[in-house]
């Protein structure tokens, strides 16, 4: 799923603006977070509220190293909401929660710098 964590890697091939717009990245608030012991790599199960148009969607996120479980509820995150659901062990992940690798390759969530309305679209 992840192409590379190397910050020195060359950029991906060019795409046109319409292709970029086809990826629906929205902001939502984590309303619940639970352990995901069945995951192959350490992960949390997240329930993220994207507002009335999209509702609450589930995600599996490998963010355990930088984001303690007890700190997640109430945080806003960015996620792709228009990928098809993906079966991850016994869990169906409905959105792709976004993050960047830190210096050790561990995921740091993409979050707005101040609160914004749930469901807001990245542009």
- HEC secondary structure over 11-77: CCCCCCHHHHHHCCEEEEEEEEEEECCCCCCCCEEEEEECCCCCCEEEEEECCCCCCCHHHCCCCEE
Separation between Cα atoms, residue 77 and residue 123, nearest integer Å: 15
Look at 2-6, 44-48, 85-89, 91-95 and tell me which has the smallest mean pLDDT.
2-6
Helix H or strand E segment including 18: helix 17-22
pLDDT computed for residue 8 by the predictor? 85
State the pLDDT confidence band at 3, using cuts at 50, 70 and 90: low
Q: Which of 39, 41, 29 is nearest to 95 (CA)?
A: 29
pLDDT computed for residue 2 by the predictor? 47
- Let me know: does 31 contact 49? Beta carbons within 8 Å: yes
Using the Cα atoms of residue 50, residue 76, residue 57 and residue 20 in order, give the sign of their dihedral: positive
Separation between Cα atoms, residue 73 and residue 61, nearest integer Å: 14
pLDDT tens-digit profile of 43-55? 999 999 999 999 9
């Amino acid at each position: 799923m992840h192409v590379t964590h190397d910050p020195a890697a060359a950029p991906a091939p060019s795409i046109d603006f319409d292709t970029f717009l086809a990826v629906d990245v929205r902001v939502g608030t984590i309303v619940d977070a639970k352990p995901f012991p069945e995951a192959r790599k350490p992960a949390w199960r997240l329930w993220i509220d994207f507002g009335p148009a999209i509702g609450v969607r589930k995600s599996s996120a490998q963010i355990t190293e930088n984001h303690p479980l007890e700190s997640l509820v109430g945080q806003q995150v960015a996620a792709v909401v228009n990928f098809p659901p993906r079966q991850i062990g016994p869990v169906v992940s409905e959105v792709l929660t976004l993050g960047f690798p830190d210096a050790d390759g561990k995921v740091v969530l993409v979050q707005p710098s101040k609160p914004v309305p749930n469901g807001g679209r990245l542009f």
